[in-house]
């Protein structure tokens, strides 16, 4: 049944995705277990929130096998993870979910810092993310650490299996919970966007109403 204005109904798929599902998906893509936790940073409204995702991975799982050191220098370099070569599947999986290396530059841009603030990423939060954008090795734990982007992982989770692309426009419309056990995202994918055209074309209404 059509409405009086003949407005087309949008096809919208709605999903609720938990932090546990994000972790499980990343583990399946990598092929080994990881440690992950999540913290919600609330912005100007409850829906304007961002989720920080911290990830830890065992050295044996992500580093390519290396030949036994034949000298003292080689052994020291290996122990300090110098010139580390990661397994190819690890780099392929993680790279799309990592923050850009240029993120630190945002700290110098007041407008961008202000925009981030609206989504709960205050200056200290942004500084924290910038500190952990690259994989880093912790010798005492024999673990690697990095911050990843959960929104990028969610986008990949909802991509078409045959094409690897989204069939529509994705939007995170809500974030609920506060910690790793309770956080979940409400996600919508709009399959077709309705747009209207008029015979007037593009008109700048600010200019139109500026005339006295």
Mean pLDDT of 106-132: 85
pLDDT for res 187 = 94
What pTM did the predictor assign? Answer: 0.79
The average pLDDT across 132-142 equals: 92
Percent of the chain with pLDDT over 70: 81
Q: In what order do the strands lie in the sheet with 184-190?
A: 12-18, 184-190, 169-176
């Amino acid at each position: 049944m059509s409405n009086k204005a003949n407005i087309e109904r949008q096809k919208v798929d709605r999903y609720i995705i938990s932090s546990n599902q994000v972790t499980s998906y990343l583990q399946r893509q990598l092929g080994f277990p990881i440690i992950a936790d999540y913290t919600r940073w609330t912005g100007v409204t409850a829906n304007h929130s961002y989720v920080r995702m911290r990830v830890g991975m065992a050295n044996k799982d992500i580093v390519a096998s290396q030949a036994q050191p034949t000298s003292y220098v080689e052994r020291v370099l290996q122990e300090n993870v110098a010139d580390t070569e990661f397994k190819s599947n690890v780099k392929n999986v993680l790279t799309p979910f990592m923050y850009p290396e240029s993120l630190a530059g945002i700290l110098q841009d007041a407008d961008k810092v202000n925009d981030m603030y609206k989504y709960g990423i205050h200056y200290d939060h942004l500084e924290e993310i910038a500190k952990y954008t690259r994989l880093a090795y912790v010798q005492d734990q024999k673990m690697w650490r990095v911050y990843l982007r959960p929104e990028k992982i969610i986008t990949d989770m909802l991509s078409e299996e045959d094409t690897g692309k989204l069939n529509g426009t994705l939007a995170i419309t809500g974030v609920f919970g506060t910690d790793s056990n309770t956080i979940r995202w409400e996600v919508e994918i709009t399959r077709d966007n309705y747009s209207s055209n008029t015979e007037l074309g593009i008109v700048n209404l600010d200019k139109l109403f500026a005339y006295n």
